Amino acid sequence: MEIKKQIEQLRKELHQHNYNYYVLDNATISDYDFDMKLKELQALEKKHPEYYDPNSPSLRVGGAVTKNFMTVVHGQRMYSLDNSYSKEDLEDWEKRIQRILGDVEVAYTCELKYDGASISLTYEDGKLVRGLTRGDGIQGDDVTNNIKTIRSVPLQLQGDYPKKFDIRGEIVLPFEGFAQMNEERIQNGEEPYMNPRNTAAGSLKLQDSALVAERPLECLLYSIVGEDLGLESQFEMLEKARSWGFKVPTVAKLCKSIDQVLQFVEYWDVHRHQLPYETDGVVVKVNSLQHQEELGYTSKSPRWAMAYKFKAEQVSTTLEEITYQVGRTGAITPVANLEPVLLAGTTVKRASLHNADQIEKFDIRVGDTVFVEKGGEIIPKIIGVDFTKRPLDSQPTKYIDQCPECGTHLERVAGDAKHFCPNEYGCPPQITGRIQHFISRKAMDIEGLGAETVELLFREGLIRNYADLYSLTKEQILPLERMAEKSAENLIKGVAESVQIPFERVLFALGIRFVGETVAKKLAKAYKSIDALQNATKEELMQVDEIGQRIAESVVDFFGNEVNLEIISRLKAVGLQLEISEDLLLNQSDLFNGMTFVVSGVFENVSRNELKKLIEDNGGKVGSSISSKTSYLVAGDKMGPSKRTKAESVGVPIISESDFMAMLN
């Protein structure tokens, strides 16, 4: 009983801290203390699986994997919205409303139109039971596991909430987090994501919820549906939802006339650029729910609501110069240098031109007056040329054919839009980029060494690759600019300490193209040592879960290169972790190689996730549905009868938790 109380108390506290931090934006505990409490809860939950709670705050870190998202019919359809673009459109709409309602006073709630992925959440007895994507409006995909990792989604409500209801809203990815994600992708040699909205929508459909947990998604709510809710207006609905613990933006405003609505629109058309996430308009809703009911729906959208779309902001300016950037992987990005111009509240001097095709398609030339737009993307883009203003002596842009940094002839691979510099080991930004990636926080995390120092060390001829870091001496670096006794010592110490970094992170640090953090983990787990990985063929690599042809080829290329092999042997010599350490291997085996298990029901001594982990750690696969390919069905308590029937009909052996443990031991 004591333990149960302790667990409940911790859950309650953590729910509250999550709420303070992610909904109210007002933390009352340090990150460290929060982590400690979370760890304590996780340890207790692990020891006492009998107190499992599907809505425990410990689930925020994710872990559950959804192989196939189930399609579920919405309790009430999720409609689209009608669009309007002018004062006249809104006035026409008001006339249509008044024809139906008669001559009554109509008030409107104005909200912002958040640009993300729509979501419908179902709550029962104050607990989140399901999250569905909008899908086609009639039915959506069950993405509950992923939704639970979003910190601003309450798992447990507070206050006077109704027994059962759905609440709708938008999953958004704030600009800042989006920019950070892209920075990491570029670092890993991956294409950056196009815009926050698509990335938010894509996140909801990731199979591994632990990956979703790492993304800084937010959930903004705006509408409750259900029966006997005891609510009278849209505005009250927003306030109520907020009081139960939902994140409901406070910008909503109650307006008494279309004129007031227009004032709201004008205000936000300008001020929206200060918001942390993308908005693409205003949603105007008839406030009274009684009125809403009378107005009803057309086949597509409610008659009681109207979206007012902001115009994408656009300006024109002169293109002064096209410059070319060389990334860590050698990819060339053309950049438009513009005559500075004010756009969406900031001064814009540069815009991305993406690649040679883009320049050719729009026939963009230096000296042109170009149209620049800022949409969901962070970096503004050029969307066209004002040909009426083209200077008479204008010349077509000739894309560079030599690397601007090292002069090597550029290459272009079929299917890749970008040119790249093939001089991997002689091109300065590629050399320093690789070393900077190697020392970065998620890779070797070398304290005392930063990106600028790497450039300095390279310029001074002290390092040419990351293995060189390990032979640096204090005497060599002390004479450098801005280098003091203390900082030199820290640098040497940081480098020396990095030999402790585990294999999977070393593998990521090597900077193999397309091998990001997750892929590095997968490869480390599958091959366990760099020697084994080095000997793997493309075909073998492609057998590893989620490793496709592109990654496999890149890995084979990397180890096929003499320079890399020499660097790796030097890293080995200084003692870097180039295989999985003994402790990690201790609980792993190949026992279940080639076997697929389906796990169903509730277990006595382990949680379902722990059971799955045991299977995977020992080389097995976890399947989501039973087929003739399933090796075993591990049946716990409360397993659905249909699973048993299915297993029996296709001849899959059914084993209990203790049978499984016996196999394992």
Q: What is the size of the binding site for ligand AMP (CB under 6 A)?
A: 11
Closest contact distance (angstroms) between CB of 283 and ligand AMP is 4
Is-contact 602 638, C-beta < 8 A?
A: yes
Residues 6+ apart with CB under 8 A from 294: 100, 101
Nearer to ligand AMP, 113 or 612 (CB): 113
Nearer to Zn ion, 177 or 429 (CB): 429
Is-contact 318 368, C-beta < 8 A?
A: yes
Distance of alpha carbon 45 from alpha carbon 606, whole angstroms? 10
Closest contact distance (angstroms) between CB of 169 and ligand AMP is 8
From 25-33, 165-173, 407-415, 588-596, span contacting Zn ion (CB under 5 A): 407-415
Which DSSP string corresponds to 402-451? B-TTT-PBPEE-TT--SEE---TTT-HHHHHHHHHHHHSTTTT--TT--H
From 63-71, 254-262, 396-404, 503-511, span contacting Zn ion (CB under 5 A): 396-404
* Residue 405 interface partner, choices ligand AMP, Zn ion, none, CB cut-off 5-8 Å depending on type: Zn ion
What does DSSP say about strands 253-255 and 108-114: parallel, antiparallel, or unpaired?
antiparallel
Binder to Zn ion among 305, 353, 403, 449 (CB under 5 A)?
Answer: 403
Closest contact distance (angstroms) between CB of 143 and ligand AMP is 15
Distance of alpha carbon 69 from alpha carbon 207, whole angstroms? 9
Closest contact distance (angstroms) between CB of 320 and Zn ion is 24
Closest contact distance (angstroms) between CB of 168 and ligand AMP is 7
What does DSSP say about strands 279-286 and 108-114: parallel, antiparallel, or unpaired?
antiparallel
Of residues 159, 164, 192, 161, the one with CA closest to residue 178: 192
* Residue 111 interface partner, choices ligand AMP, Zn ion, none, CB cut-off 5-8 Å depending on type: ligand AMP
Q: Is 613 a residue of the active site? A: no
Strands (E), 261-364: 279-286, 305-309, 313-326, 332-343, 346-352
Of residues 306, 296, 301, the one with CA closest to residue 264: 306
Q: Is 400 in the site for Zn ion (CB under 5 A)?
A: no
* Residue 123 interface partner, choices ligand AMP, Zn ion, none, CB cut-off 5-8 Å depending on type: none
Going from the C-alpha of 323 to that of each of 348, 370, 429, 445, 455, the distances in angstroms are: 16, 16, 15, 32, 21
Distance of alpha carbon 94 from alpha carbon 80, whole angstroms? 19
Show contacts with ligand AMP in window 304-333 (CB under 6 A). 307
Interaction mask 190-229, Zn ion, x per CB under 5 A: ----------------------------------------
Q: Is 406 in the site for Zn ion (CB under 5 A)?
A: yes
* Residue 292 interface partner, choices ligand AMP, Zn ion, none, CB cut-off 5-8 Å depending on type: none
From 50-58, 402-410, 597-605, 646-654, span contacting Zn ion (CB under 5 A): 402-410
Q: Residue 210: exposed, middle, or buried by beta-carbon count in 10 A (0-12, 13-18, 19+)?
A: middle
Q: Is 277 in the site for ligand AMP (CB under 6 A)?
A: no
Q: How many CB atoms lie within 10 A of CB 329?
A: 22
Binder to Zn ion among 166, 280, 405, 504 (CB under 5 A)?
Answer: 405
* Residue 406 interface partner, choices Zn ion, ligand AMP, none, CB cut-off 5-8 Å depending on type: Zn ion
- Which residue type occupies 478? L
Binder to Zn ion among 423, 498, 564, 600 (CB under 5 A)?
Answer: 423
Is-contact 421 327, C-beta < 8 A?
A: no
Q: Is 421 in the site for Zn ion (CB under 5 A)?
A: yes
The position carrying tokens 């919405």 is: 74
Closest contact distance (angstroms) between CB of 463 and Zn ion is 18
Is-contact 238 222, C-beta < 8 A?
A: yes
Residues 6+ apart with CB under 8 A from 574: 467, 470, 499
* Residue 323 interface partner, choices ligand AMP, Zn ion, none, CB cut-off 5-8 Å depending on type: none
Closest contact distance (angstroms) between CB of 319 and Zn ion is 24
Of residues 100, 238, 220, the one with CA closest to residue 172: 220
Of residues 113, 142, 145, 117, the one with CA closest to residue 218: 117
Closest contact distance (angstroms) between CB of 66 and ligand AMP is 22
Closest contact distance (angstroms) between CB of 114 and ligand AMP is 4
Distance of alpha carbon 522 from alpha carbon 508, whole angstroms? 11
Q: Is 558 in the site for ligand AMP (CB under 6 A)?
A: no
Nearer to ligand AMP, 41 or 283 (CB): 283
Distance of alpha carbon 18 from alpha carbon 25, whole angstroms? 10
Q: Is 222 in the site for ligand AMP (CB under 6 A)?
A: yes
Nearer to ligand AMP, 231 or 446 (CB): 231
* Residue 397 interface partner, choices ligand AMP, Zn ion, none, CB cut-off 5-8 Å depending on type: none
Nearer to ligand AMP, 117 or 439 (CB): 117
Radius of gyration in angstroms for the set of CA atoms belonging to the chain, rounded to a whole number:
29
* Active-site residue, selected from the candidate residues 4, 12, 113, 205: 113
Binder to Zn ion among 78, 132, 356, 427 (CB under 5 A)?
Answer: 427
Of residues 409, 430, 472, 251, the one with CA closest to residue 330: 430
User: HEC string of 80-144?
Assistant: CCCEECCHHHHHHHHHHHHHHHCCCCCCEEEEEEECCEEEEEEEECCEEEEEEECCCCCEEEECH
Nearer to Zn ion, 136 or 401 (CB): 401
Show contacts with ligand AMP in window 7-46 (CB under 6 A). none
Distance of alpha carbon 397 from alpha carbon 381, whole angstroms? 18
Nearer to Zn ion, 135 or 404 (CB): 404
Show contacts with ligand AMP in window 157-186 (CB under 6 A). 170
What would the two tokens of residue 629 be? 């390919």
Nearer to ligand AMP, 111 or 377 (CB): 111
Measured in residues, the chain has a length of 665
Q: Is 283 in the site for ligand AMP (CB under 6 A)?
A: yes
Show contacts with ligand AMP in window 60-119 (CB under 6 A). 80-81, 111, 113-114, 118
Closest contact distance (angstroms) between CB of 604 and ligand AMP is 43
Q: Is 287 in the site for ligand AMP (CB under 6 A)?
A: no
Show contacts with ligand AMP in window 118-147 (CB under 6 A). 118, 134
Show contacts with Zn ion in window 568-607 (CB under 5 A). none
Closest contact distance (angstroms) between CB of 75 and ligand AMP is 16
Of residues 326, 320, 315, the one with CA closest to residue 380: 315
From 424-432, 437-445, 476-484, 596-604, span contacting Zn ion (CB under 5 A): 424-432
Which active-site residues does the annotation give? 113
By the criterion CB under 6 A, which residues form the site for ligand AMP?
80-81, 111, 113-114, 118, 134, 170, 222, 283, 307
- The residues of the shown chain that bind Zn ion, judged by CB under 5 A, are 403, 405-406, 408, 421, 423, 427
